[in-house]
Amino acid sequence: MSSGQVEMLMMLLLVWAVRASDGTTEEAADAEGDFSITLDLENPEVALDPPETHQVASPGRVSATQPYIDPATPLQVKAYVGITASIPCIVNNLGQRSVSWVRHRDIHVLTVGRFTFTNDDRFVALHEDGSNAWILSLRSPSANDSGIYECQINTKPTLSQMITLDVVEPQAIITAGRELYVDAGSSLSLTCQIVNAPAAPEFLLWYHEQQVANYVEHVHVDTNHVNGTTTSTLVLDEARVHNSGKYTCSASNAREASIMVHVLSGEEPRAMQTNGAGMRLLSLSPFPLPLLLTGLCWLLLLPLLLPVSAAAFPSAFAVFVTLEMIYIIPKLVI
């Protein structure tokens, strides 16, 4: 017996075991309900019917005898990074049929009945005897697991329901952005919100550089959880220059967020400029007075040294001003 024939026999035994696990036997299946996973004698591999041959379940379509996917099956499921996700498919009148789960991104069969057909051991098919719920369980999901998953019943044509899984990551957001400038002596107020979190964090701490800021003198922190969103506000009554630095909002169940705070001293800056990272001070060079005086002296001596007419004097002055601007303008550009 060739290796191909051995693999075909092993696959037939596996299919029989799947049907047996659902309380059915090979003899009980009729021709109309052939398994949607087929075997090719020349190439004994698992093959799926093309998606275009599937009959998509319609909400409200029910039958007293034929299998159908219950309208209560959700079309969208939200899950959180690191927390086990459960995608349910409610099937009525399953009878001798089997339920399969297929990942649409790569048309990969994940489970058939209670059996897993993927090397990714995070996927498990859950089903209790007597229940009409077939659940695809995904342990430790990541954002990359988001996408469409298809629940199939092996009817002819295949009956299926597309379910979209959205895996989100809880994260902290500081509303002031990435950089903030305040004047010395004024109040510093920072607000942090925790979004896409399944529950309120067990704790939320503010850090100034590497030091916990919640319990520092003159710092007030107020944290509350309203309508599924956790909000924390840090207030420093009178900011000083030494209060400058990185402030971080860190919650137990979310990715942290940071902001750079610059406390300006009482000296007023000559100018400020905004770039992609925020605002920074410009230190302008003082006006080049020595050069100006030297240029004026040359202008006064020019008529004595050279035969320059009075009419040409304004032109010479214009040249001097132009040279002066060429010197000054680069000083204003960062």
User: What does 178-231 look like in DSSP terms, one character per residue?
Assistant: SEEEEETTS-EEEEEEEES-SS--S-EEEEETTEE-TTSTTEEEEEEEETTEEE
Residue 46 has pLDDT above 60, yes or no: no
Q: What residues have CB less than 8 Å from 30, skipping those under 6 apart?
A: none
pLDDT given at position 296: 62
Q: Say whether pLDDT at 106 is over 50.
A: yes
Q: For residue 135, what pLDDT is reported?
A: 96
Q: Any residues with CB less than 8 A from the CB of 257 and at least 6 apart, and which?
A: 171, 172, 173, 174, 192, 248, 249
What band does 333 get if pLDDT is binned at 50, 70 and 90? very low
pLDDT at residue 65, rounded to an integer: 80
| Window from 214-228, 293-307, 310-324 with minimum mean pLDDT | 310-324
DSSP 135-166: EEEESS--GGG-EEEEEEE--SSPEEEEEEEE
- In the chain, % of residues over pLDDT 70: 60
- Whole-number percent of the chain with pLDDT over 90: 54
pLDDT for 23-38, tens place per residue?
443 333 333 333 344 4
Q: Which residue has the higher pLDDT, 334 or 77?
A: 77
Q: With a cut of 60, say whether residue 149 has pLDDT above it.
A: yes
pLDDT value of position 8: 47
Judged against a pLDDT cut of 60, whether residue 226 lies above it is answered with yes
CA distance 95 to 132: 11
User: What's the pLDDT band for 205 if we cut at 50, 70, 90?
Assistant: very high
Cα–Cα distances in angstroms (integers) from residue 328 to residues 271, 283, 285, 290, in the given order: 15, 13, 9, 13
| Average pLDDT across the chain, whole number | 76
Q: Which single residue is written with the structure tokens 């969208």? A: 76
> Do 14 and 116 touch, CB atoms closer than 8 A?
no
pLDDT recorded at residue 252: 93
Does the predicted model carry a pTM greater than 0.85?
Answer: no
Neighbouring-strand partners of residue 152: 100, 160
| The predicted structure's pLDDT at residue 72 | 94
Residue 292 binned pLDDT confidence (cut-offs 50, 70, 90): low
For 162-195, b where at least 16 C-beta lie within 10 A, e where not — what string?
Answer: ebebebbebbbebeeeeebbbebeeebebebbbe
Q: How many CB atoms lie within 10 A of CB 325?
A: 10
Model confidence at 116: pLDDT above 80? yes
pLDDT of residue 25: 37
CB neighbours of residue 47 within 10 Å: 13
259 Cβ contact partners less than 8 Å away, ≥ 6 residues apart = 174, 176, 177, 178, 179, 180, 190, 246, 247
Cβ-proximal residues to 128 (8 Å cutoff; 6+ apart), any chain: none
- Give the residue from 91, 90, 95 showing the smallest Cα distance to 25: 95
